[in-house]
């Protein structure tokens, strides 16, 4: 198996796990910070110590750095939403516990900023991964 697949799996898996479970009681921000900083440490150490000719290995280690980028933007969007609406933003994605995703469901409690923050986080996760793969 290619090493870069491991990095891509970690980047997407951890980021989406945190995204969909960010309001659960068992996943408090301190735990997420520890997970992200631990993965960032492994990723930076791996990138700095890998040889340039092993591109797949560098992509793998870059994937470990992506969850902290996602988490920082999540915290920024949460702070902006708290300033605007006095609440954390509502995750407007399919299979989210915060919305009704049934056929022709009306989610009147969801604001446009909630949708922008939700889609923005998706774009940040995917774009950061593609930019890293392309530049490394």
Q: Which among 81, 76, 70, 88 is positioned nearest to 14, based on CA atoms? A: 70
Report CA 57 to chain centroid distance, whole Å: 21
What digits encode the pLDDT tens for the residues 2-30?
A: 788 899 999 999 999 999 998 888 889 99
pTM of the model: 0.88
Based on the structure, what is the number of domains in the chain? Answer: 1
Q: What is the DSSP letter of 89?
A: P
Supply the range of the domain harboring residue 37. Answer: 3-135
Burial (0-12, 13-18, 19+ Cβ within 10 Å), 133: middle
Residues 10 and 61 sit within 8 Å (Cβ to Cβ) = no
Q: Which among 84, 68, 7 is positioned nearest to 32, based on CA atoms? A: 68
Check residue 109 and give its pLDDT. Answer: 79
Check residue 104 and give its pLDDT. Answer: 57
Regions of the chain with pLDDT less than 50:
none
């Amino acid at each position: 198996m290619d090493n870069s697949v491991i990095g891509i799996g970690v980047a997407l898996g951890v980021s989406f796990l945190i995204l969909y479970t960010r309001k659960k009681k068992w996943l408090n921000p301190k735990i997420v910070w520890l997970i992200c900083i631990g993965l960032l440490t492994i990723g930076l150490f791996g990138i700095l110590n890998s040889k340039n000719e092993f591109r797949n290995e560098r992509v793998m280690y870059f994937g470990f750095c992506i969850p902290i980028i996602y988490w920082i933007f999540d915290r920024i969007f949460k702070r902006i939403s708290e300033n605007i609406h006095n609440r954390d933003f509502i995750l407007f994605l399919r299979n989210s516990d915060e919305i009704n995703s049934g056929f022709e469901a009306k989610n009147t409690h969801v604001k446009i900023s909630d949708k922008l923050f939700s889609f923005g986080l998706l774009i940040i996760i995917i774009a950061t991964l593609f930019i890293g793969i392309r530049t490394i």
